[in-house]
Structure 1
Amino acid sequence: MAELLAYCRAGYENDTAAELTAATAQRGAYGYPVLQSDSGYVSFPLYQQEDLHTLANTLAVADTIFPRQLIAVTQTHDALDKQDRITPILETVRDIKEIIGMSGNVLVEYADTEDGKQLAKFCRKFVVPLRQALRGAGLLTKKESDNKPFIHVFFTDFDTCKIGYSLPQSRNPAPMGIHRLKFPSDAPSRSTLKLEEAIVTMLDAHQREQVLRAGGRAVDLGACPGGWTYQLVQREMYVEAVDNGLIADSLMKTGLVGHFAEDGFTYRPEYGRVDLLVCDMIEQPDRVARLMGDWLVKQLADHAIFNLKLPMKKRYDTVVDALTLLTQRMTQAKIAFNLRARHLYHDRDEITVTVVRHE
């Protein structure tokens, strides 16, 4: 069998399926989605076995929107013997080794749902003897290696698991594709985690230095009470916080924040331009995309990080339409840029977009 497995937020299975259908077709691979509402994952069987490894090489999680992790699944085992789950898994991993060589780690995972979490304790315990067995069979490096393929064992219940692999250039490095962050006790709102996750997972080290340089200037549209402004202040940026609501006193006392009680759609930067524009306003996605395009095309901001709030239906189509609108405008303006859009773990019904202008 050949199956692409995508982890996602529960409730976003249809959107993940639509994206997988489009992304695989763009790469000349075809299949069909199999999903269950609120399951936290989508299975995508492929018509051609040979397409699986091609997709494992070329379809990176970082370049998708809704998948948290992508696994090239080669075998599903059901009705596992509870007295010996390891033997059939070893046999499958031997076959996988013929494709990818030695693996650098094994992850035993489950869906990020209430039902899936019932498997958490079992998975944490099971990975220890499984790792030992794989090493004993010469199927796993003696020390964990992030630069090698990973084996993934995904349990859907105690008797059923899907076994596959991910490659270093394509996978999300976080287990289960989830980057859990600790909420800073002095931050004014939990929305700060959305921007922090975007910074640490969607920007590489060079882009972080380029976009978030100390002493740089930023505008935060819809800033109240200051969750996103907090992240910028932590990086010693000067911030124009735009919102009719109040900004946390702790941020105002830093001397790095100016509060402007104005409309985010008509505000313009105090000194004509800024290095970075951030925006988490609750508005229609196409309207926000047009606003971001205005700032970037008119060179009011060099870079942008913003959220698009999602509707209840046709969320994938809505995102594609909004991002296409923005991309076309910047391309027509002959601006070289890198754009990424991700449904982050700390997002809910929204996606986060980063736009970084090439130097």
Structure 2
Amino acid sequence: MTEQALFCWCRAGFEPELAAELNERAAIAGHPGYARTERGSGYVEFLCEDPAALARALPLDRLIFARQKLLRLADLRGLDPRDRITPILAALDAAIEQGAPALYGELWVEHPDSDAGKPLAGLARSFGNALRPALRKAGRLTASDDTQRPRLHIVFLDGDHAMVAVADTRDASPWPLGIPRLRMHPDAPSRSALKLEEALLTLLDDEERERLVRDNMQAADLGAAPGGWTWVLMRNGMKVTSVDNGPLRQALLDSGRVDHLRADGFQWQPRRTVDWMVCDMVEQPSRVAERMATWLREGWCRQTIFNLKLPMKKRWEETRVCLELFEHQTHRPLVIRARQLYHDREEITVYARPR
């Protein structure tokens, strides 16, 4: 059993980016420490003097490359496959003395979303079914799910290696591994539609979605072809100006809610302010950031969601530089939320509006 640590899931292959982000943000928050990870593992651990305080100082919605944020309570190695439950119960008892909860509202048994971790899916499912009644008998888990209480996570990194962790449900992803399981709609013009659907689900809260995503809003989609993001906006009741020299799917044009302009998304500007501008153009991230700043600075849109395509190296540095450039060139206080979504690849997605 080892000391507590901050434990975060991320996209496999982006562990160095999350490690660099945690190193920088933890130092700024006054909790210097060090990140520990392996490329391709799908997670990063951060060790410091007071991980619980660091977890409170770094809200999940401020982290860009983390899908989920947990406080690791124990690292259990060399587990006997014949009895993994007893060591976990003992670890929970010991953790109470360090301030961990005595009672949890839910149990999630997880494994890394990586090539090495996916074969553990069957073990995670079966072990969860065995552990849940044992936890209730021991008085460590409520009789039915209670999302207001802390959530217990058991993370299998191997058959004989598990971590015991806790999530504050007020500051954690509501999906296992931090992954919203969205289905590709057969009418969607491209898989990119899933990115915007996830962005609206992840970067806005329930109240904001109800207030900011409404019927008959005016929207602009820059670099729209073949129309995946336009389709999402249209499905949410908006009237969309889709700007691209390439073709859109005919069904979008037939809807009567889409106006296709064959123009350069970097040059076009609306005649009047639109409620939403979205952009998923393949271009240098700094150029995209500058253009998005122009839209907000000039008042051409009330809010925006856009993607920044990242280079192969120094991706955290490029992310930080581009977001600082965007905020500086907007010349006004902003609400900015950025995240590498599950449906993103070599990119991050940004939501922004004037504060």
Q: Pick the TM interval, shorter chain.
A: over 0.9
In the TM superposition, what is the alpha-carbon distance from 1:95 to its structure 2 partner? 2.9
CA distance in 2, matches of 1:322, 1:230: 28
In the TM superposition, what is the alpha-carbon distance from 1:208 to its structure 2 partner? 1.8
CA distance in 2, matches of 1:268, 1:338: 22
In structure 1, the residue corresponding to 2:329 is in which secondary structure? helix
| Structure 1: stretches of 5+ with no match in the other structure | none
Partner in structure 1 of residue 321 of structure 2: 321
CA distance in 2, matches of 1:71, 1:100: 12
CA distance in 2, matches of 1:340, 1:95: 37
| Runs ≥4 residues deviating over 4 A | none
Partner in structure 1 of residue 31 of structure 2: 29
Partner in structure 2 of residue 13 of structure 1: 15
In the TM superposition, what is the alpha-carbon distance from 1:33 to its structure 2 partner? 1.4
Contact 1:180 1:345 in 2 (8 A): no
In the TM superposition, what is the alpha-carbon distance from 1:228 to its structure 2 partner? 0.1
Say whether 1:57 aligns with 2:56: yes
In the TM superposition, what is the alpha-carbon distance from 1:249 to its structure 2 partner? 0.6
Alignment of 1:111-150 (within 5 A): 111-150=112-151
CA distance in 2, matches of 1:210, 1:143: 32
Contact 1:211 1:276 in 2 (8 A): no
CA displacement, residues 121-175 of structure 1 (integer Å, 9 cap, x when unaligned): 0100001111111111111111111111111111110000111111122211111
Higher mean C-alpha deviation, range 221-230 or range 19-28: 19-28
Contact 2:6 2:52 in 1 (8 A): no
CA distance in 1, matches of 2:165, 2:310: 32
In the TM superposition, what is the alpha-carbon distance from 1:326 to its structure 2 partner? 1.3
CA distance in 2, matches of 1:142, 1:97: 20
Partner in structure 2 of residue 84 of structure 1: 83
Alignment of 1:200-239 (within 5 A): 200-239=201-240
Contact 2:327 2:334 in 1 (8 A): no
Higher mean C-alpha deviation, range 209-218 or range 283-292: 209-218
Alignment of 1:50-199 (within 5 A): 51-98=50-97, 99-101=99-101, 102-199=103-200
Contact 1:149 1:166 in 2 (8 A): yes
Contact 1:96 1:164 in 2 (8 A): no
CA distance in 1, matches of 2:90, 2:172: 23
CA distance in 2, matches of 1:224, 1:328: 30
In structure 1, the residue corresponding to 2:123 is in which secondary structure? helix
Contact 1:153 1:163 in 2 (8 A): yes
In structure 2, the residue corresponding to 1:87 is in which secondary structure? helix
CA distance in 2, matches of 1:26, 1:136: 43
In the TM superposition, what is the alpha-carbon distance from 1:210 to its structure 2 partner? 3.5
In structure 1, the residue corresponding to 2:157 is in which secondary structure? strand
CA distance in 2, matches of 1:31, 1:197: 32
Partner in structure 1 of residue 255 of structure 2: 254
Partner in structure 2 of residue 344 of structure 1: 341
CA distance in 2, matches of 1:346, 1:321: 23
CA distance in 2, matches of 1:84, 1:4: 27
Identity %: 43
CA displacement, residues 48-73 of structure 1 (integer Å, 9 cap, x when unaligned): 1xx22112323222221001111111
In the TM superposition, what is the alpha-carbon distance from 1:17 to its structure 2 partner? 0.3
CA displacement, residues 233-291 of structure 1 (integer Å, 9 cap, x when unaligned): 0011111100111011111011110111111111011x322111100000011100000
CA distance in 1, matches of 2:294, 2:352: 13
Contact 1:221 1:241 in 2 (8 A): yes
In structure 2, the residue corresponding to 1:214 is in which secondary structure? coil
Contact 2:296 2:353 in 1 (8 A): no
Say whether 1:274 aligns with 2:271: no
Contact 2:213 2:236 in 1 (8 A): yes
In the TM superposition, what is the alpha-carbon distance from 1:316 to its structure 2 partner? 0.7
Amino acid corresponding to residue 26 of structure 1 in structure 2? I
In structure 2, the residue corresponding to 1:169 is in which secondary structure? helix
In the TM superposition, what is the alpha-carbon distance from 1:337 to its structure 2 partner? 2.9
Contact 1:289 1:326 in 2 (8 A): yes
Task: Please give the TM-score of this superposition, normalised by the length of structure 1.
Answer: 0.95
In structure 2, the residue corresponding to 1:75 is in which secondary structure? strand
Amino acid corresponding to residue 302 of structure 2 in structure 1? D
Contact 1:211 1:356 in 2 (8 A): no
CA RMSD of aligned residues (A): 1.2
CA distance in 1, matches of 2:94, 2:195: 40
Partner in structure 2 of residue 286 of structure 1: 286
CA distance in 1, matches of 2:226, 2:157: 41
